[in-house]
Structure 1
Amino acid sequence: MQAHLLSYVFPQPVELTYFGGTRQIVKRDAMLIRVEADNGLVGYGPGEASETAARLIMETIKPWLEGRVLADAEARLGLVRDHGAGRAELGIAPGGERGGGFGRERRGPACVPRGTQRLG
Structure 2
Amino acid sequence: MNWNIFIIVVVACFALEVYCDPIDIANVKDYCIKETAIAKETVKKMEDDTLERLDEDAYCYLRCIFVSMELIDSNGELDVKKVMKEFDYFDEECLKKIPKIMECTDMAALNDCEVD
TM-score band, normalised by shorter chain: under 0.3
Which protein is richer in helix relative to its size?
2
TM-score calculated relative to the size of structure 1: 0.23
Query: Higher RCO, 1 or 2 (CA under 8 Å, sep at least 6)?
Result: 1
Q: Please, what TM-score do these two structures have when normalized by structure 2?
A: 0.23
